[in-house]
Structures are given as structure tokens and as C-alpha cells.
């Protein structure tokens, strides 16, 4: 059975109408087509259309009023642009410094090291890892989620207060007395599982950007790994490509 067969008709219809709203085919204040027209367009029953519209009401995109219809109340949220370039300051300024984001530290622990991190940092099979989980918020809404991994011997004395006014990299270099020389960055498209959906307040299956940063010391040794999950509806990646 293919993936589309596993997706309820009402959910697909809701997603289609959502896309039209976000593309402003149905603008703020518009009355979307009546149920009978939607039944005919999508070839489904009235019950299915009602379930789709109920989902959009629940998510705050539309409001339904008897004798008036279904009106769009969604206003486009600002999307935050992250600049892609070879300059870390460009990336940092666009991603953090100029946005005025709030940070909530969810957890700081020393725990078993995931295989992926152990491989990158060249650690032993039974190695422990220092891990911090954080959420960044814009207008009090979570927009990105970060997991930092590093050596307990380097980071074990840090607390959430250390990250209230400085970025992780600033704290890392100052408190651990390690100068960083480069970042290897990998960006992938992914979707929200149940854990990520709960943290970022999105729906299961919503699109996310996944970014892995590996930080290297001046001795060219990997010393820290950061995994970042950015909401696809709140971020975009932007760059300029020169033509020669």
C-alpha cells in the first residue's frame, strides 16, 4: 500500500485548502467555496469535507459561521531567512543575532553517546556524552530545536545560565578554552516525528530542515556536534550565487 493510501481523505483535503490559504489563493477575510462545491471538486462526501474544515478550524486557519460560510482568518507568519555562505558571521547573524529570539534550555545531561555522534567524535563504544537540548522561540512560538553534543570533561560544569546571553559557540570557546577553526555543515529535508512535533508544536509529518554542524578545533579535530531542526513553515534558506 503506498503512502497516499494511508492518508485519510479529509486530511489530504485539509492540507490542500491549507496550501491555497498559505499561497493566498484564499486570502485573509475571504469566504472559501461552500461545502457543496468542495464535495464536487474533491469527489467526496459532505462528512469528509466537514472533517477537513473542522481540522482547519482547530488549527486557527478558518472560522465557520452559520448562514455565512467558512472565512479565512489566517495571516501569514513572518518567515526567517538564514543566509548560506562560507562566512560563519553571515550565518550566525542571520540565524540568531538579528532576530531577537528567546531560548529555553530543556535539558542538560551526561548520557550514553549515540552511534552517529560517537563515530564523528571518534569516541569509544562505552563513551558518555554531554548533551544539551534547547528550543528557540520567535514571538513566544517555538521555531527551532537544537541538540548539542560534546565531551563531559569539557562541558560538564556548564549550566543553563551560561547560555542565557551568549551562543553555544561563544560559551564553548570561552569556557573550554578551545579555538574553533571551521564547521562542516550538512542540510537535509526531514519530517516531524511524534517527539519533534510535540517540541516544535507542529503536526506529525510536517516538513523540517535538519542541519548537522560538526565543529573543528585549530588542530583539525572534531570537538562538538550540533543537530538542529528548523520548522519548514518558519525558516527559509537564502543565498546569492555569483555568475562568472
134/14 same-domain check: no
How does residue 45 score in pLDDT terms, banded at 50, 70 and 90?
A: very high
pLDDT in tens, 180-218: 999 898 888 899 998 999 999 988 888 998 989 999 999
101/176 same-domain check: yes
* 63 CB neighbour count, 10 Å cutoff: 13
Q: How far apart are CA 133 and CA 147, in angstroms?
A: 5
Specify if 243 maps to a domain. no
pLDDT given for residue 176 in this prediction: 85
Specify if 15 maps to a domain. yes
C-alpha distance from residue 47 to each of 16, 40, 218 (Å): 17, 13, 63
122/57 same-domain check: no
pLDDT given for residue 97 in this prediction: 54
pLDDT given for residue 5 in this prediction: 46
95/176 same-domain check: yes
pLDDT given for residue 128 in this prediction: 94
- Taking 80 as the threshold, does the pLDDT of residue 169 lie above it? yes
pLDDT given for residue 84 in this prediction: 60
95/61 same-domain check: no
Determine which helix (DSSP H) or strand (DSSP E) holds 147, and give its type and residue range: strand 141-150
pLDDT given for residue 88 in this prediction: 47
What is the CATH number for 173? 3.40.1410.10
126/194 same-domain check: yes
How does residue 6 score in pLDDT terms, banded at 50, 70 and 90?
A: very low
- In degrees, rounded to 5, the angle at the alpha carbon of residue 112 between the alpha carbons of residues 110 and 116 is 115
How confident is the prediction for the chain on average, in pLDDT? 84
- Residues with Cβ within 8 Å of 133's Cβ and at least 6 positions away in sequence, in order, are 105, 106, 107, 108, 145, 146, 147
- Taking 70 as the threshold, does the pLDDT of residue 34 lie above it? yes
149/183 same-domain check: yes
Specify if 144 maps to a domain. yes
Specify if 244 maps to a domain. no
- Taking 80 as the threshold, does the pLDDT of residue 146 lie above it? yes
Torsion of CA 126, 130, 133, 134, to 10 degrees: -160
Q: Which domain holds residue 142?
A: 80-238
Q: How far apart are CA 16 and CA 22, in angstroms?
A: 10
pLDDT in tens, 54-107: 999 988 889 999 888 999 988 766 666 666 655 545 555 555 555 567 889 999
> Per the confidence metrics, is the pTM higher than 0.85?
no
Of residues 59 and 131, which shows the higher confidence score? Answer: 131
pLDDT given for residue 172 in this prediction: 87
- Split into its structural domains, the chain has a count of 2
84/150 same-domain check: yes
- Taking 80 as the threshold, does the pLDDT of residue 227 lie above it? yes
Specify if 164 maps to a domain. yes
Average pLDDT estimate for 115-122:
93
Average pLDDT estimate for 155-169:
82
Specify if 90 maps to a domain. yes
Amino acid at each position: 500500500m503506498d503512502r497516499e493510501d494511508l492518508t485519510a481523505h479529509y486530511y489530504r483535503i485539509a492540507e490542500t485548502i491549507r496550501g491555497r490559504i498559505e499561497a493566498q489563493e484564499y486570502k485573509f477575510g475571504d469566504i472559501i467555496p461552500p461545502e457543496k462545491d468542495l464535495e464536487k471538486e474533491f469527489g467526496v462526501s459532505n462528512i469528509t469535507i466537514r472533517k477537513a474544515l473542522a481540522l482547519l478550524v482547530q488549527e486557527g486557519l478558518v472560522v465557520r459561521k452559520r448562514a455565512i460560510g467558512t472565512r479565512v482568518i489566517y495571516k501569514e507568519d513572518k518567515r526567517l531567512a538564514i543566509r548560506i555562505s562560507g562566512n560563519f558571521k553571515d550565518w550566525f547573524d542571520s540565524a540568531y543575532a538579528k532576530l531577537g529570539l528567546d531560548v529555553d534550555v530543556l535539558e542538560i545531561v551526561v548520557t550514553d553517546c549515540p552511534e552517529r555522534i560517537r563515530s564523528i567524535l571518534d569516541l569509544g563504544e562505552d563513551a558518555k556524552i554531554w548533551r544539551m537540548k534547547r528550543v528557540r522561540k520567535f514571538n513566544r512560538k517555538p521555531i527551532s530545536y537544537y541538540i548539542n553534543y560534546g565531551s563531559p570533561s569539557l562541558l560538564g560544569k556548564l549550566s543553563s545560565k551560561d547560555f542565557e546571553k551568549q551562543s553555544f559557540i561563544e560559551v564553548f570557546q570561552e569556557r573550554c578554552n578551545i579555538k574553533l577553526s571551521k564547521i562542516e555543515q550538512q542540510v537535509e529535508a526531514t519530517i516531524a516525528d511524534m517527539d519533534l512535533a510535540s517540541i516544535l508544536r507542529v503536526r506529525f509529518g510536517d516538513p523540517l530542515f535538519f542541519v548537522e554542524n560538526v565543529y573543528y578545533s585549530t588542530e583539525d579535530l572534531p570537538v562538538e556536534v550540533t543537530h538542529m531542526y528548523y520548522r519548514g513553515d518558519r525558516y527559509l534558506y537564502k543565498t546569492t550565487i555569483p555568475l562568472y
